[in-house]
Every structure is written in structure tokens, then in C-alpha cells.
Amino acid sequence: MSFPISLFELLMSSFTSDRLERITAQLHQAIIAAITVPTRHRQTPLGVSKDPLRFLPDILRSLTTWKSRPRSFTGRAYEWRSVICEQCLNLEADYSGRKLLFLSLEVGFRHLEANYTRLIHTEHHRRMVDVVFKHGTDEVIADLLQAWTLGWYPSYQHPSLHTCASHLVDLQRLRSFSPRLRHLLISSIGSTEHQKFRRIGDEISFDVLDRLHICVGDFPVEARRFRENWADFLLSVIQSVEGTRLLSYPYWELMVEILASPTVYLQGAIYSPLVIESLEDAGEWHKLGCWIAIVWAIWDPSEAANLESATLSLFHRQPGTFRKLERWIEVLQRCGWNIEKFQSLCEQRNLNVAGPDTP
């Protein structure tokens, strides 16, 4: 069934804003009414279906093509989602309910321009999070994240995203991420308290992180707290049970680059000596070089008992990596980190690497 949305768009220019608002409000109420009609009223006495939901997917699908739909549709489509979740008690088993849910997401949030109107998230909205992450395409998941972050600046944490936290790093079923989903995942992870990720060292999908290909340029320059959230997140991953072994090298370097960003500060970070021990045992020298730079910046040697011995070990066993460590230390010092004790150690132990870098 086709609906003449394109014709409606042509007529929009002749409508006053008040009249257009009344028309869209009537359409909104009609969609709500169609969703909430009880099942027992969808049959005639002769058993012939008069189910208004039969045509609703076509209506919503048509609305997704409405290029210039009013901004008010964002909030209204979000209300449809709440009603759908309230009416469909088992979205996991109800395919038609899921289809309506996903179409409502698309109507409200696909191709949405910047809009800082915050939406109210109800328990009905929270019910559909698991279903969207389990059954939705990459763009449907992006629609959900768009809805849950709408109205928040990237420098603030999004309380509603905590409901999504356990899903954000567990998307192995998706073969690829659209550019929009990639951007929203980076933003969402950086805007969520890292403590909200459950058992982060055991259940995190390192494959998902690798596929995001994150660089420091993905972080808004003005959003200091956003970079600090990502630094907290990476610290928790690196010092987790599997993080030291499975987190790929670019993320260790990214951690140093975040610390090298202006005005980034971390407080209350707890140091684990097991990271250095694990990296030395595994011969992960490049990771070790990054980690030593990170530890010198964040912690005092008195807090990191094996820091000085690890620095000496890196100098004697991997002089090329040690030179890279020296360059990282210089960058971090220029950005305000107090790492004078590293220089003092180098002078006391005559840690000067001559000649070109070695592999």
C-alpha cells in the first residue's frame, strides 16, 4: 500500500505552521489509536479482520521517506515507541511489534539534524533496549543511540546510556558498522561511566573495539570530560583480566595520546602492578613502552613499585622502544604532566640511547 507523502510534501508550503501542526498532531493521534486498539476489537462478527495495525507498517514506512517532516515528529515517534513497548508484552517473540518499533525509530531519528531537545525515557522505552541490540540492524541501533543521547553535549555523561552499557562493546553479530553507528558508539562509550560496564575484562568484545579504529581525532577538542571518560574506560580495560593480553596496540598508544591532550586529568585511578609483569612475561615491548609512559604520568613511583625496574628493563632489552618512550614522556611533560622523576632516573642511571632506533 502506498501513501502519497511526496504529494503531501508539495502541499506543505501552502500550509501555515499552525495548520501543519494540527495535521501532524491528528496523524500522531491516529497512529497511537491504531497501536492501542485491543485485539478483541480487531475482528468483525463474521471473523473478518479489521485490524488497523495491518496498514500501520506501510504508513510508518512511508513516513520514513518524508524528507522535510517537522521536528515535532522526533518526540512523537518516541511516544509511539513507548506505546508499542507497552502494548507488545513480548517484543522478543512479536515480529510485527519489533517491525513497528524499528520503523518508529527510523521515522524519529534517521537523518536527524542537530536537535538538543531532551526526551523523557520511560520504563517502556528501556524495555526495548535488549531487543534493538539483539535484532536491529546497524542503523536501527544507531537510531536508538541517537534517541538516548539526544539533547546531551559530548562533554557530559548520559545517565540513560547506562542501560545500554553492557551492549555497547558486545556487537559481534554485526558484520560492519555504518559511519553513523561508529560515531555514535564512540560518543556513547565516551559518555558512559566506565564502572557501568559489567565485568568489563571478561565480557568485552575486543573485536568490536578493533573494528571501530578509533583515533584521538574522533574526540571533540572542546570536550575534556569526554576524553577523560575514554581514558578511564581504557585504563579499566588495560588493567582487566584479559585486557592486557587482548587489547590491540593502537589503543595503548591512543591512551597516551589522550593524556597528551590539553587539560586532561585523571583522579582516583588505581594502579595494578600485574600489567607490567604480564607485558614483560609476554615480551609485549611496544605495549610496555606505552604503559610505562602512562604510569609515569598518572602515578608516582612510590605508588607503582615496579615502575623504575620496568623502565630500566626496557632500556637494556629494547633500546629502540625506550627512545619512543622518551619521546612520549617529552610530549606528556609539555602537556602539563609532572614527570621530572623520570628524567632524574635517566640521569642517575645514565639512560642515554645512542644511535638510530632499533626495531
d(CA 322, CA 324): 5
Residue 266 and residue 285 share a domain: no
Q: Is the pLDDT of residue 42 over 50?
A: no
Question: Where a domain ends, among 149, 169, 189?
Answer: 149
Model pLDDT, residue 160: 67
Q: How far is CA 217 from the centre of its chain?
A: 15
What is the chain's alpha carbon radius of gyration, rounded to the nearest angstrom? 26
d(CA 256, CA 238): 12
Task: Summarize the confidence of residues 127-138 as an average pLDDT.
Answer: 90
Model pLDDT, residue 256: 96
Model pLDDT, residue 47: 46
Tell me the pLDDT band of 50, cut-offs 50, 70 and 90. low
Model pLDDT, residue 236: 87
Model pLDDT, residue 323: 95
Model pLDDT, residue 355: 41
Q: Is the pLDDT of residue 276 over 90?
A: yes
Tell me the pLDDT band of 291, cut-offs 50, 70 and 90. very high
d(CA 101, CA 135): 11
Amino acid 315 reads F
User: For the chain, how many structural domains are there in total?
Assistant: 3
Residue 177 and residue 104 share a domain: no
Tell me the pLDDT band of 116, cut-offs 50, 70 and 90. low
Tell me the pLDDT band of 45, cut-offs 50, 70 and 90. very low
d(CA 264, CA 255): 11
Model pLDDT, residue 356: 40
d(CA 102, CA 136): 7
Residue 178 and residue 131 share a domain: no
Residue appearing with cell numbers 623502565: 311
Residue 24 contacts residue 73 (beta carbons within 8 Å): yes
Average pLDDT taken over every residue of the chain: 81
Nearest to 212 by CA among 179, 190, 243: 179
Residue 170 and residue 128 share a domain: no
Q: Is the pLDDT of residue 8 over 50?
A: yes
Q: Is the pLDDT of residue 230 over 50?
A: yes
Residue 322 contacts residue 315 (beta carbons within 8 Å): yes
3-class SS letters over the chain: CCCCHHHHHHHHCCCCHHHHHHHHHHHHHHHHHHHHCCHHHCECCCCCECCHHHCHHHHHHHHCCCCCCCCHHHHHHHHHHHHHHHHCCCCCCCHHHHHHHHHHHHHHHCCCCCCCCCCCCCHHHHHCHHHHHHHCCHHHHHHHHHHHHCCCCCCCCCHHHHHHHHHHCCCCCCCCCCHHHHHHHHHHHHCCCHHHCCCHHHHCCHHHHHHHCCCHHHCCCCCHHHHHHHHHHHHHHHCCCCHHHHCCHHHHHHHHHHHCCCCCCCCCCCCCCHHHHHHHHHCCHHHHHHHHHHHHHHCCCCCCCCHHHHHHHHHHHCHHHHHHHHHHHHHHHHCCCCCHHHHHHHHHHCCCCCCCCCC
Residue 57 and residue 131 share a domain: yes
Residue 133 and residue 2 share a domain: yes
Percent of the chain residues past pLDDT 70, beyond the cut: 81
Residue 252 and residue 125 share a domain: no
Task: Summarize the confidence of residues 296-304 as an average pLDDT.
Answer: 90
Task: Summarize the confidence of residues 306-316 as an average pLDDT.
Answer: 94
Residue 127 and residue 66 share a domain: yes
Question: pLDDT per residue over 140-161, tens digit each?
Answer: 999 999 888 776 555 555 666 7
d(CA 333, CA 316): 23
Model pLDDT, residue 242: 85
Model pLDDT, residue 222: 73
Question: pLDDT per residue over 70-90, tens digit each?
Answer: 777 888 888 898 889 888 878
Task: Summarize the confidence of residues 319-344 as an average pLDDT.
Answer: 93
Higher local confidence (pLDDT), 184 or 223? 184
Structural domain span for residue 144: 1-149
Question: Where a domain ends, among 249, 270, 291?
Answer: 270
Model pLDDT, residue 175: 82
Residue 214 and residue 135 share a domain: no
Residue 156 and residue 144 share a domain: no
Question: pLDDT per residue over 161-198, tens digit each?
Answer: 777 877 887 788 888 899 999 999 998 888 776 666 64
Residue appearing with cell numbers 496498514: 55
Kindly report which listed range (15-19, 53-57, 234-238) carries the lowest average pLDDT score.
15-19
Residue 266 and residue 286 share a domain: no
Residue 158 and residue 145 share a domain: no
Residue 37 contacts residue 53 (beta carbons within 8 Å): yes
Winning range, highest mean pLDDT, from 18-22, 95-99, 307-311: 307-311
How far is the CA of 314 from the CAs of 41, 283, 288, in angstroms? Answer: 76, 10, 8
